[in-house]
């Protein structure tokens, strides 16, 4: 039997990048997957490519009514929700590099990042708990970031929002356990994963390769991670193999948070 056989799953931000890879991995493991995004054309195409057990729904994670509509439809279609992956997120740099340091980030930009990255996760967790309560089981997986564990001077709003996602995941885990529910909530913290989010920083043409090398220079494994590698962790957390895991955080960062990979000769 496949690891997620017949589990009903919802993945936000699933039109591309990490979200798409997670949805695709879930489908391969036998899940019924609802992909959601605000990029409707890309989202529908992704769902169609995953076979008959995948579908697409428009969902702006910032909008409470969107969450209610999608959740009602899932319960009507499938009768339950087993897994929610809160993946949708923004850096704040999607429309070009703007000042996001603690001194210069605008209140408008600060709020825009938090509305998607934090408010979206809050709304998703709340709706998932309500949907999963009757069956008493489920898995909520929140995609945070390495930036949620350390300070990022040039991305104050992003780092703040992802740190809040990390902490809220623990709060949700404790609340569900306190309620006597086997609804687990865990966070994944990727770093240097090659997705469309990196495009504004990598550029195109001859400088792209040089920029890619520069971006992973301080990563001990000296390479970008892949969305599929993040998806593998999500499959594990969604499966019954992780039934005793809740309130935890999994880092997938090529060793960045482990420290320096300097050799003995370099240290001397």
Show Cβ contacts of residue 228 under 8 Å, excluding neighbours closer than 6 positions.
21, 25
Tokens representing 268 are: 């001397």
- Within the chain, where are the H helices? 17-28, 40-48, 64-78, 107-114, 120-132, 156-178, 199-202, 207-215, 227-238, 264-267
DSSP state of 115: I
Q: How far is CA 41 from CA 16, 65, 87, 172, 173, in A?
A: 11, 21, 18, 33, 34
Q: How far apart are CA 12 and CA 108, in angstroms?
A: 23
Q: Which residue is listed with tokens 């591309």?
A: 16
Q: Taking CA 180 as the corner, what is the angle to CA 27 and CA 87, rounded to the nearest 5 degrees? A: 35
Neighbours of 12 (CB within 10 A): 30
For the chain, what's the residue count? 268
Catalytic residues: 158
């Amino acid at each position: 039997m496949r690891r997620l056989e017949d589990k009903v799953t919802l993945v936000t931000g699933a039109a591309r990048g990490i979200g798409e890879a997670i949805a695709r991995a879930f489908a391969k493991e036998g899940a019924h997957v609802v992909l959601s995004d605000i990029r409707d054309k890309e989202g529908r195409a992704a769902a169609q490519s995953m076979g008959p057990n995948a579908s697409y729904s428009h969902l702006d994670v910032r909008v409470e009514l969107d969450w209610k509509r999608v959740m009602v439809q899932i319960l009507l279609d499938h009768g339950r929700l087993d897994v929610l992956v809160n993946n949708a997120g923004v850096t704040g740099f999607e429309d070009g590099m703007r000042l996001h340091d603690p001194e210069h980030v605008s209140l408008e930009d600060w709020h825009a990042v938090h509305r998607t990255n934090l408010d979206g996760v809050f709304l998703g967790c709340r709706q998932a708990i309500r949907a999963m309560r009757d069956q008493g089981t489920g898995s909520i997986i929140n995609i945070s970031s390495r930036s949620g564990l350390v300070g990022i001077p040039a991305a104050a709003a992003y780092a703040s929002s992802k740190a809040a996602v990390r902490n809220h995941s623990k709060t949700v885990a404790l609340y569900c356990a306190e309620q006597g529910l086997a609804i687990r909530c865990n966070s994944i913290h990727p770093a240097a994963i090659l997705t469309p989010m990196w495009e504004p920083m990598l550029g195109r043409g001859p400088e792209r390769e040089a920029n890619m090398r520069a971006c992973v220079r301080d990563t001990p494994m000296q390479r970008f991670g892949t969305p599929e590698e993040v998806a593998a962790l999500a499959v594990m957390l969604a499966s019954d193999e992780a039934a005793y895991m809740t309130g935890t955080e999994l880092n997938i960062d090529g060793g960045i948070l482990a420290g320096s990979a300097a050799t003995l000769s370099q240290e001397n």
